[in-house]
Structure 1
Amino acid sequence: MLGDKNTSRVVRVAVLESLGMPRPTVYRRCLPGGPWRRLLPGIVKLDRAEPSQRQRLEAALLRGGPDSMITGHWALRSYGLRRGPEPDDVHLLVPATREVTSAGFVLVERTTRLPEPVRRRGLPLAPVHRAVLDAARRVEDFDTVRAMLAEAVQRGRCRPDVLRRELEDGSQRGSALPRRALAELVSGPRSVAEGDALRLWRRAGLPECAWNVAVYEVSGGYVATPDAWCDDVAFAWEIDSKEFYFELDGYAGTLARNARYAAAGIVLLATLPARLRKEPGAVVRELRAAYEAAAARPRPPVRMR
């Protein structure tokens, strides 16, 4: 039995047998009207209530056996990462030598590349870089895959180079979308919103900009790292997503950033991500107007790095 022994009621049938209860008796108690519930082959819950999320995870790990660990969407939720579909089946990594198969709500993946688990609330999880790619390989929507990888990187849970190495060394099945998303993440816009922003920037017909570069005063003082930066006229464009940036830096940090832009003489346009798709024409007009305003005044003494 896993977790807090005072609250977890998930147990292997083999354990009950070792305590002297015959297997037929165990399964008879799991029949309709009986006091117990069968969760998975060889695993029961010692009451009739619907299993909690925690109990489903515990049952899955009992199915996987020693050295198994949770990966994919459930692992990402345990790390506090919310992008991607709502978890359903519990995705497990188990040693390749183990004779165990998927069953019920458990998806078993046997692997020769079993990572060192990370324990959260007593549960063994695959590291973030492995979990997010295991999840992404089973998602068919590119924007969702891009959002999942961007969240893991932007929240500091893993580095792009670690994701790249995992993609190179791991299973190639379902890797096309994660590879495409990672290439975009490394070379340019780092979120779904910034990908939409890149398309609108090009639609506006403005000169090429740089993405996610640091901007400094000539004295060396740091100003900010705008999502898009047009160096010729010192124009910054920020995609101010409450879900990412306010969560990371806080509202006060966003205000402080905007104050640094103003003090440095930089023209700033801030756009909410929802407007990129709901009001693309209006955003394009705002981009052109802000660029023209930046071009009309003397360029301030700032530089990008």
Structure 2
Amino acid sequence: MTHNTPLSPRPVRRLPEVRRRVMPTAQLRAHGISTAELNERCRPGGAWRQLLPGIVLLHPGPPTSEERLHAALLYAARESAAGMPGVPSQPSADEPHRPVYKEAMITGLAALALYGFASAPPLTSLDRIDVLVPRLRRLRTTGCVRILRTPALPTPRQVTGLPVAPVARALADAVAELTEGSAVRRLLTEAVRAGHCEPAAVVRELTQAKLLSRPHVVDAVDSLVAEGRAMAEDRLYRMVREYGLPDPVWNVDLRLPGGPHLGGLDAYWPDQAVAVELDTRAPRQDDDVLWSEYARKREHLERLGITVVHITPRKLRHSPEQQAAVVRTALMASNDREPAAYVLVLPR
């Protein structure tokens, strides 16, 4: 294959050949390519193409998705002590073809496509690739690259050999550009149903991005929270069944006889006075108020002799056996406690 051979688009996999098809101009000069020769090869109809400022595509055909992603990261990773365009951090001698994309990662819809989201557009249809960089980097949006800045870069994940923003952050960056509620709802719902992340992580990123003032985002978040709770309840049912816990009464309200309402519970074992409450709060601006309500309810129930076990959806998903052991321990310890106060158990 020569530099003049056009490449047809293909699915994104690991990046073996692409690193030799896209290079910064500074790296080409380091390989002995003069400025005059570079300009000649990049002229209209030439063997190469100037894909982005300082980034050259070493063939005349249209760039593949791999090449666009690689070029976007190379563009964003350019650096020099003087703040002028330079070259990305170079790999070690033992790995001469491994680029280091310093302080840059793919985010937004391109990141979701890399994660395999069915509701995200394919990479080939995206006009822009979002790249997340530190706030103080001197970069501008250009060509197929949209630069997004953040005060603190998250830890990237490696997907197809590329640094990609965590799913929750990529979702927030994608949602910031979307105006259709249905599109936002599909992305958020898929993130939870496919197990990419928990609803709380998504809402936290949307809150930090100040996106919860947009009505279509708020509507999508409400659907997301409901979806997350339904999935958590299903996991709780499975945990009780699969780990041999005695059957509780499900989804009940407790009330003192002739007295006040004590609160709702997801599962309750009346004989042992043990309750399970799913903590499916979505972190928003009123999170402290919600947590205070949780804490007050728990303290009130425990003063009445009722043991309350709080379980998060994340724990149910990743360590159901451990959560079942916590509940089992609470049930067994009931014999060593003083009898609980009599309460009415009502369907919720």
TM range (shorter): 0.5 to 0.7
Gaps of 5+ in 1: 191-209, 223-230, 232-303
**Correspondence 1:1-305 to 2 at 5 A:** 3-4=15-16, 8-65=20-77, 66-87=102-123, 88=126, 89-172=128-211, 176-186=215-225, 188-189=226-227, 213-214=233-234, 221=241
Contact 2:107 2:164 in 1 (8 A): yes
Q: What is the TM-score with the length of structure 2 in the denominator?
A: 0.52
Can you list the C-alpha shifts for 1:30-77, whole angstroms capped at 9, x where unaligned? 112211111111111111122110000000001111210000111111
Contact 2:50 2:57 in 1 (8 A): yes
Inter-CA distance 102–76: structure 2 relative to 1 (3 Å threshold): same
Can you list the C-alpha shifts for 1:252-298, whole angstroms capped at 9, x where unaligned? xxxxxxxxxxxxxxxxxxxxxxxxxxxxxxxxxxxxxxxxxxxxxxx
- How far apart are the structure 2 equivalents of 1:25 and 1:175? 51
What residue in structure 1 maps to residue 99 of structure 2?
none
Counterpart amino acid of residue 148 in structure 2: E
Q: What is the TM-score with the length of structure 1 in the denominator?
A: 0.59
Inter-CA distance 6–106: structure 2 relative to 1 (3 Å threshold): closer
- How far apart are the structure 1 equivalents of 2:19 and 2:152? 33
Contact 2:18 2:70 in 1 (8 A): no
Q: CA deviation at 1:96?
A: 1.0
Inter-CA distance 117–86: structure 2 relative to 1 (3 Å threshold): same
| Structure showing greater Rg | 2
State the percentage of identical aligned residues.
36
Can you list the C-alpha shifts for 1:116-141, whole angstroms capped at 9, x where unaligned? 10011210000011111211121111
Gaps of 5+ in 2: 1-13, 78-101, 243-251, 253-346
CA RMSD in angstroms comes to 3.0
Can you list the C-alpha shifts for 1:225-268, whole angstroms capped at 9, x where unaligned? xxxxxx9xxxxxxxxxxxxxxxxxxxxxxxxxxxxxxxxxxxxx
Contact 2:113 2:120 in 1 (8 A): no
- How far apart are the structure 2 equivalents of 1:216 and 1:75? 34
